Amino acid sequence: MIRKIYISFAWGFACVAILLASGVVREARALIGVDGVAAIVNDEIITLGDLEQRMTLFIGTLGLEDNLALRDDIRPRIMETLILESLKKQEALRHNLRPTPQQYDNALRYLERLNNIPQGGFEDYMKQKGYARSAWFGQLESQLYWDNYVSTYLQPLVSVGDNEIDDVLESYTHRKQEDEYLLSELYLPVIGGDESKVMSTALQISGALLSSESLEKDFALLATQHSQAASSAAGGDIGWVGLSEVHVAVREALKKAPIGHIQGPLQVPGGVYIFYLRDRRSFGGEDSFEVNLQQVSVERDADAAEDVIEEGRSIAKSPDFNCQRQGNYDSLPSLKLRDLGQMSLSDLSLPIARAVETLPEGGVSDVISIGEELMFLKLCGRATRKVALPSREAVRERIFYQRLEKLVQKQIRDLWRSSHVEMRI
């Protein structure tokens, strides 16, 4: 790749920074959008306005505090992302692989479902948030173009033989009791930039996820928006994987990870991963992640006195409150008693899963705060079940995905190396 670095816009960009620092944000953004060129990628222009708007989108979607120091920190990484999106779209256009109107519509419906937005309301939602259409639509469009390229030119290069499937199934007989992990991934490659900047971006994303109250939904959103893995189109979902199928640098982290938590950022050669562990199972062994629960709760308000909360704790611990009977507590109308029945640990909300994961049978959790309720949970029992071996089709899909992912990352690196990029900032 031939890279030409110019400094002719340095003075103009400094003026923009002064305008921003002095609070004249609207005038600064207008100047950026009209006059500035950030980069030329194979004759396609990325404007300073594109860069500014994408930084605004990145900062807003992660809930970060917008300031000049943060923008200076994320600018190189966001610039690299815009260049990569341009290269992906150009490669698809070279093969005339334009997305169909139905693909655009399906993508918008998917984003609406993830964000709990009424159908057809995504554009208005983003406008109300203050995000320029070109920022989020450009990102979406690039992904659709790239998906078409991957499915048309890369997927046909991947094949999985019956003998390979046989070998994998045979290997399960030699690794009984070995855990497998139901994972979602978010992958940020280090291509043309500083590894520390990629790690900084990953830390910002993981920080937003750690404070999320809807981790599964938010992880899927951020993976769709930021991940450069083939799984981004599925919200980062890569299904069940064994430890031998992930990089050695992340194995120990997965072993120690509680269900319902994220792990990372985890640095591997060539990039950084963030994982979301949705479930765990052991082949050939018993899976004890089915739990039977009873709940005692009290509404959170000014009248929820400490003695009422303590009464709830006492009831939850009482032998009369169990999975066979709940006793008679009609004299305590401020308390609600529920039989939650049997459910998978992975189906519980994150605060509840954390509270009951390590409880012994008959144990009672500490007080849990969920919305307008304070509650205690009693673990009445754990159900055990044998985990069946994966089907041949599941094994084939797993091998297929792993090989496709290697092809995708190789193609991205090749596009970057062969491109002609003129940087103007």
* Predicted confidence (pLDDT) per residue in 381-391, tens digit: 777 666 667 78
CB neighbour class for 384 (10 Å; exposed up to 12, middle 13-18, buried from 19): exposed
Taking a C-beta distance cutoff of 8 angstroms, is the pair 323, 294 a contact? yes
CB neighbour class for 358 (10 Å; exposed up to 12, middle 13-18, buried from 19): exposed
> What is the rounded CA–CA span in Å between residue 157 and residue 150?
10
Domain 178-282 shares a fold with domain 287-386: yes
pLDDT digits (tens, 9 = 90+) for 296-354: 777 655 455 566 667 777 777 776 666 655 555 454 556 677 777 777 766 676 677 77
Mean pLDDT, residues 415-422? 92
> What is the rounded CA–CA span in Å between residue 415 and residue 402?
20
pTM: 0.68
Could you name the CATH architecture of 287-386?
Roll (3.10)
| Residues in CB range of 405: below 8 A, 6 or more apart | 229, 230, 231
Mean pLDDT, residues 192-201? 83
CA distances from 45 to 50, 313, 423 (A): 10, 63, 10
- Preceding peptide of 390 cis, ω within 30°: no
The pLDDT of residue 368 is above 60:
yes
> What is the rounded CA–CA span in Å between residue 126 and residue 79?
22
pLDDT over 70, % of the chain: 77
Q: Running DSSP on this structure, what letter comes out for residue 154?
A: I
Angle between helices 133-149 and 101-114 (to 10 degrees): 120
Q: Which CATH number fits domain 178-282: 3.40.50.970, 3.10.20.30, 3.10.50.40, 1.10.3210.10?
A: 3.10.50.40
Could you name the CATH architecture of 2-149?
Orthogonal Bundle (1.10)
b/e 47-61 (16+ beta carbons within 10 angstroms → b): bbbbbbbbbbbbbeb
In this predicted structure, what is the pLDDT of residue 214?
A: 81
Q: Any bridge partners for residue 272, and if so which?
A: 188, 267
Taking a C-beta distance cutoff of 8 angstroms, is the pair 199, 193 a contact? no
- Return the domain boundaries, the chain: 2-149, 178-282, 287-386
